[in-house]
Amino acid sequence: MGCGASRPQTDGYVINGFYMSMREKFVAKGASIYYFIVEWDEKDLSWADFRGKILGPTDPTQAPEDSLRGQILAKYEEFGLKSKPNTGDNGVHASASPFEGLCERLNWAEVKLAEDPFGKALLDLKIDDKTIMAWTKDPQVEVDGSMTSLFDTMEDINSSECLAKAKAIAKVDGEVTAVKNMAFVFVKPHANNEAVQKLVKDKFAESKISITKEGKIDGSVIDKKLLIDNHYYSIANKAKLTKPKDLAVPESGKKKFEEKFGLTWEAAIKANMVMNAAEAAKKYNMDAESINARWAKAKDKGNLIKFGGGFYCAKVFEKPAGAPEKVMRPL
């Protein structure tokens, strides 16, 4: 911990402690992304193949050799990357579904809902804009009689099927309008250079994927406009934007917390023992990487639980046995 760190007298639990390190990669001095808004006809290329074959899986070691992530991994030194790509730093991001593509265009490119072809198609279904904007936060929705993540139910399907699902979920009677598949793609900060940008453009050209808009967004803008926080909203909301006492922890999660750590969630909250990642960094005078390192150690020791999608809690600090009350050490 830093010299000026506050030293609490109780154990410390952190929500999504990994996030600030992930965020820092996008907002650090000199960081930037280069984005592309792309479109193609679904009869020529399915969304699943766009992600699986053109982009490549999240883990680049599992990506086809000729996919973007596969090529970046194989030639990362030739492309000027400082380190070998991995699951987090895998070169390029692309939307997981037509709906997430809309969300990302609204966020990163500041496109207006009614001016976006897919957004307009949703409005044409008679889904109101308030509902659509609420959906951008990935709420739980009813699908086939059970509740599930909206993003999950839309993943890897073409625009036509995505619109049909949206119509069913919203229980509206508008007509499904034919629109092209549209995705938001960006070169991640660790790989953002002209060589990788050219690779992406060439891959899209040979795959008959049209680029309708492209551009660079600097880290300072990403930070100021909270673009990365909105992009990873489900994670960031819990790590930075909302205080733990205001988070909706499911009863099953509270039970896990008590079983794992030996006290109730309510007691931990009342004693100010739980903090989000941003609060922990400030309270313990730690930078993002230090918090992430402590988080990783806690995870390795099994001192971590999952409350739900993008919602984790770890016992990152504990009072040493027999030590004075004011002493706290990282796990």
Contact 328, 7 (CB under 8 A): yes
pLDDT at 146: 84
272 pLDDT tier (thresholds 50, 70, 90): very high
**pLDDT confidence of residue 326:** 42
Q: Is pLDDT at 305 greater than 70 in this prediction?
A: yes
Residue 1: per-residue pLDDT: 43
Q: Judge whether residue 320 has pLDDT over 70.
A: no
> So what's the pLDDT on residue 164?
97
The Cβ-side half-sphere exposure at 211, using a 13 Å CA radius, reads 17
Helix axes 117-124, 98-108, angle to 10 degrees: 120
> Cα(267)–Cα(193) distance, rounded to whole angstroms?
49
Q: Are the CB atoms for 209 and 187 separated by under 8 Å?
A: no
pLDDT at 163 over 90: yes
- The dihedral through the CA atoms of 155, 311, 58, 104 has a sign that is positive
Bridge pairing between strands 12-15 and 274-276: parallel
pLDDT value for 318: 81
Q: Kindly report, residue by residue over 97-117, the tens digit of the pLDDT.
A: 999 999 999 999 999 999 999
pLDDT tens per residue, range 33-69: 999 999 999 999 999 999 999 999 999 999 999 999 9
pLDDT band at 30 (very low <50, low <70, confident <90, very high): very high
Q: What single letter denotes the amino acid at residue 129?
A: D
Average pLDDT value for residue range 14-28: 95
- CA atoms of 138 and 63, how far apart (whole Å): 27
Res 325 pLDDT > 50: no
Judged against a pLDDT cut of 90, whether residue 275 lies above it is answered with yes
Instruction: Indicate if the pLDDT at residue 8 is higher than 50.
Output: no
Half-sphere exposure of 4 (CA within 13 A, CB side): 4
Give yes or no for residue 276 having a pLDDT over 60: yes
**Better-predicted residue by pLDDT, 121 or 141:** 121
Q: Is 177 exposed, middle or buried (0-12, 13-18, 19+ CB in 10 A)?
A: middle
Query: At residue 3, does pLDDT exceed 70?
Result: no
Q: How wide is the angle at C-alpha 138 spanned by C-alphas 132 and 139, nearest 5°?
A: 85
Please name which of 266, 247, 245, 246 lies closest in space to residue 255, comparing C-alpha atoms: 266
Where do the H-state alpha helices sit in 75-206? 98-108, 117-124, 129-135, 150-154, 159-170, 194-206
